[in-house]
Structure 1
Amino acid sequence: MSVELFAKDDAINLFKSQRILMFGDSNMRALYKDLIWLTRYGTLIPNEKLRAKNEDSFSGDKRLSEGVLTASRNYVEIREYKREFHLHYEFITRIYTKKFEDFIESLKVPPNFIIMNSCVWDLSRWGPNGIQDYKANVDKTLHLLRNKFPKTCIVFTTTLPISLKARGGFLTENVQFLNAVLPFSIVEANNYVAKCCRKYDIDLIDLHYYMQYQIDSLVMDGIHWDPAAIRFINNIIFTNLCQKVGKQLPNNIAIHRKCNTKENERKEIAKNEIKPKIEQNYYNRYDFTTCN
């Protein structure tokens, strides 16, 4: 199935009256903001709005955490948006913590959707055992979510590619040397996450696969993405969610035009070449073994 283009009303219809939880780093925050902007204004979010962080309010949402900006791994940013749907976002620097577990266990009403990713902070900011801890924490997190919310649509996204010359953000001066190996560590981490998602029957959206062909959409820091790329990523996620819950796709990119047979064939070939596909099975590129 091709990636669909979601307009304002399409996104609202998908999420209307739904409860959505989003957990992740600044790229997940960008997806959170873009979803709100799309359903409020129906346009591409301005770059300055996308890059801002920890503001008191963004397009009608509310920051629930204290407004303390820091580059430490203890950074907290919690946001909530209530309008056509209930959207909750939390910035996390580690995929599993006791605080995260307590929050999940405290929820009385199961969310309809959970969208989650965590990796680069886990691997770079939690000491020499970061990789082993990450593997254990992925397993604990997916086990917790699946057991707590057996009927919730849970989606884990693979970590987006970063530049070999990435700088800033989680890459403070003390860990700047990691930018030479982190892009490759991300690939291995995504591989492991895929195995665990299969183990717990949790959907995986391989954003790394799609965005490796869009590297020119990275901004100057080599970590974050421009507004058009963020909207593209959200369209990938929305298409997947529509398929998962059985909702009709918007079909906004269908073109109906009368032309001769050869012209039709040429256009069909060109369309298939430039439109990325969402695979039926996200796991078939990996050699799976038992998830430890």
Structure 2
Amino acid sequence: MGQFSTEHAQQLLHNKFVVILGDSIQRSVYKDLVKFLQEGNCLTELQLRCKGEKTFLKDTLVEGGVLEEMHNGETYREVRQYCSDHHLVRFYFLTRVYSDYMESILSDFKSDHQPDVLIINSCIWDVNRYNDIELTQYRSNLETLFSRLREVLSPDCLILWNTSMPVGFRDTEMPELVKHNLRWDVIDGNFYSSTIAHLYDIDVLDMHYHFRLELPNRCKDAVHWNQLAHRKCTHILLSHIAKAWGVQLPQVPQEKLPLIGSYCPGYTSFDEPSPHIRGEFSFLPGQPLMVVNGMPGFAPFHGNYPKAPAPPRGPYPFHGMNIMMNFAPHPPFPPMNFGYFPDHKKLNDHNSLPMRRPIKQRDGQIHPYHILAPLLSRIY
């Protein structure tokens, strides 16, 4: 992943048309990209929480939002657009991966300019709002969407399907009492979407993998993410776009990275500096936590800690220590009989692989368990 600055992002997307489609998480991806194209600061808590506002950092609300009725239903619409002298970024809010509204968006691409980059994701609404327990309709809609994208968009358009980030349980939910396990449904949805996208030669960015260890940056609602996570997501997207276009990734030296960003108490997981961090790096003393290109701000520590003299070593390990003094004498353990283990049988039938839900066969293959050798993977 490259270390992008605002100048690098402006140069990479110079005279490019970027379209982002998806839910509220994708809206935050759009907002962070728009802000990164103008300044290096991260989003604030208010900017992340707002939806449907008339303007955001010189962008325009084209359709929906406060111009119509504000609600959280399946018919909610919001179209935003940021246009500068050399950049054009547009966002469409989706409540389903494929519908009549998606066809209207594709008709806009037919009659208007074709996008250079299309970033799309739709999973949480599909698996949670339409009573599609087996995800049958979701898989069918994915195949229809990807086939329509290949028919409508130009071959020069870079299509990126980014999987959904990890979701969790809310503080008031008991995992053993939740009938609809959204966490597992999102994992299944990511598997099906990435597999079907691979069949249509569409690039897949596995955001679930990239953010599997970033759970402290997830908000309290267990679905949305804070500004640090979205800045990292922007860097991942820009890095993949640069690699796809053959552009060398920028590598800014760590000492030249400016301290940028703002601190949002209660919204990030870094409310207070940890007093246990000692050594080569430490948090900035006496200041709120800042952000260096989306990562927690560190500063080199130039002090000298007092070193205590090391205890004398004995002639052998544990010299002078009675390591068995706290253990009472006991008889030897009896031999344990684990029973008979049958020999492992080679599984030749791919249809009998253990899966939570079966996936539809296409062209005689079941991905990702059986892939022909010349077929290269496009999942990153």
The TM-score range, normalised by the shorter chain, is 0.7 to 0.9
What is the correspondence of 1:156-235 to structure 2 with a 5 Å cutoff?
156-165=161-170, 177=178, 181-235=181-235
What is the aligned residue count? 254
Q: CA deviation at 1:248?
A: 2.1
Separation (CA, whole Å) in 2 of partners of 1:151 and 1:167: 47
Report the equivalent of 1:136.
Answer: 140
Q: CA deviation at 1:219?
A: 0.9
Of the three residues 45, 49, 52, the one matched with 2:50 is 52
Q: CA deviation at 1:39?
A: 1.3
Change (3 A) 1:129 1:12: same
Report the equivalent of 2:36.
Answer: 38
2:71 is aligned with 1:70: yes
For residues 28-73 of structure 1, give each alpha carbon's deviation from its aligned partner in whole angstroms, at most 9, with x where no partner exists: 0001000111111221121211221110000001111231321111
Per mean C-alpha deviation after superposition, the further-off stretch among 158-167 and 191-200 is 158-167
Separation (CA, whole Å) in 1 of partners of 2:132 and 2:219: 29
Partner amino acid, structure 2, of 1:41: E
Q: Which runs of 5+ in 2 are unaligned?
A: 257-279, 281-294, 296-366, 373-380
Q: Which runs of 5+ in 1 are unaligned?
A: 169-175, 257-266, 268-274, 276-284
Report the equivalent of 1:246.
Answer: 246
Report the equivalent of 2:17.
Answer: 19
Q: Which has the larger radius of gyration?
A: 2
Separation (CA, whole Å) in 2 of partners of 1:59 and 1:210: 28
Partner amino acid, structure 2, of 1:219: C
Preserved CA contact (<8 Å) 2:126 2:132: no
Separation (CA, whole Å) in 1 of partners of 2:172 and 2:249: 38
Partner amino acid, structure 1, of 2:194: A
Over aligned residue pairs, what C-alpha RMSD do you find? 2.5
Preserved CA contact (<8 Å) 1:73 1:93: yes
Preserved CA contact (<8 Å) 1:191 1:286: no
Q: Give the TM-score of the pair, scaled to structure 2.
A: 0.63
2:202 is aligned with 1:120: no
Q: CA deviation at 1:253?
A: 4.8
Change (3 A) 1:215 1:243: same
Preserved CA contact (<8 Å) 2:127 2:189: no
For residues 230-250 of structure 1, give each alpha carbon's deviation from its aligned partner in whole angstroms, at most 9, with x where no partner exists: 100111111011000112211
Partner amino acid, structure 1, of 2:118: I
- Between the two proteins, what is the percent identity of the paired residues? 25
Partner amino acid, structure 2, of 1:287: Y
Partner amino acid, structure 2, of 1:112: D
For residues 74-95 of structure 1, give each alpha carbon's deviation from its aligned partner in whole angstroms, at most 9, with x where no partner exists: 1111101101311110110100
2:287 is aligned with 1:287: no
Q: Give the TM-score of the pair, scaled to structure 1.
A: 0.81
Preserved CA contact (<8 Å) 1:63 1:78: yes
Runs of 4+ in 1 over 6 A off after TM superposition: none
Which gives a bigger RCO, structure 1 or 2 (Cα 8 Å, sep 6+)? Answer: 1
Q: CA deviation at 1:287?
A: 2.7
